[in-house]
Chains A and B, each alone.
Chain A
């Protein structure tokens, strides 16, 4: 199965909205050892200028991966998920994700590169809030290892 390079530039329909809860944020923060009280104490978060408790910087991946699944699981995309490893990840936060957000995610296949028999696929997911304002741009590169 070969990765279908015709998908470069394709944008999938928006997914979500994904409701972000204080409990979700607390669980994620605990799992990554994030001890800042802004993750768990709404008063501390408000004192720091946020509307509610703040998601750890990498929590956007939760919504990004739900959104990009439509592409990765698309049979026409030619991605053998058993051969996938995570190559790179980056986040640009236009503002922090906070409890109470309802995020919409839109994933675009940014590039597909071939190197050493592997395919490197970069997808970019834009997270926006209910007002349509940009919240986070998440970029993820997966490596589909070539067959032997």
Chain B
């Protein structure tokens, strides 16, 4: 992958939407990779028993999948210097799976350090599932 150059980035530039599928198998893989084995992310009966509509994705899966979209735009995952978010709504994952949609918009640039600040919007259906999701990236 080639790394995005500072000269090629402008305020207001957008990327995406990129659609990312999430199935129950995705959540098992994330649970195993992250060590977060909370049953609300895998066990439908358990999730419904605690009042959830169905199994929900780990918030950190949603954040991680969103960071992957940002990394693809930058061209080097090691150049995502800062990434933060609020978790506003859960991503419900029924047996047939679901999907999220990720878009980014460049909010500001730092010419001295050749960095950009990106506002990330991640939605599931009509719900915005991440709030104040912001990345700072190091451009080439």
Q: Is B83 an interface residue when CB atoms closer than 8 A count as contact?
A: yes
Residue in contact with B64 in the complex, picked from A27, A31, A90, CB distance below 8 Å: A31
A86 to B89, CA, bound (A): 11
**Residues of B close to A48: CB separation below 8 A:** 3, 76, 78
**Residues of B close to A35: CB separation below 8 A:** 68, 72
What secondary structure prevails in chain A residues at the interface with B? mixed
Q: Are B63 and A36 in contact (CB under 8 A)?
A: no
CB distance from A21 to the nearest CB of B (A): 12
Q: A34-B67, A66-B35, A87-B87 are in contact. List 9 more A-B contacts (CB 8 A).
A: A31-B64, A50-B78, A56-B68, A57-B67, A57-B71, A58-B64, A62-B34, A92-B81, A96-B78
Near B by CB (< 8 A), chain A positions 86-103 give: 86-93, 96
Q: Is B82 an interface residue when CB atoms closer than 8 A count as contact?
A: yes
Q: Is B65 an interface residue when CB atoms closer than 8 A count as contact?
A: yes
A73 to B20, CA, bound (A): 34
What secondary structure prevails in chain B residues at the interface with A? helix
Residue in contact with A36 in the complex, picked from B59, B76, B82, B85, CB distance below 8 Å: B76
Interchain Cβ contacts under 8 Å between A and B, 28 examples: A30-B29, A31-B30, A31-B32, A32-B30, A32-B65, A32-B67, A33-B64, A34-B77, A36-B72, A38-B77, A38-B78, A45-B78, A54-B77, A57-B71, A57-B77, A57-B83, A57-B135, A58-B63, A59-B64, A62-B33, A62-B34, A65-B34, A88-B84, A89-B59, A89-B63, A90-B85, A92-B81, A96-B77
Q: Are B77 and A86 in contact (CB under 8 A)?
A: no
| Chain B contacts to A: CB under 8 angstroms | 1, 3, 20, 26, 29-30, 32-36, 59-61, 63-65, 67-68, 70-72, 76-78, 80-87, 135
| Chain A contacts to B: CB under 8 angstroms | 24, 27-28, 30-39, 45, 48-50, 54, 56-59, 61-62, 65-66, 85-93, 96, 139
**Residues of B close to A39: CB separation below 8 A:** 77
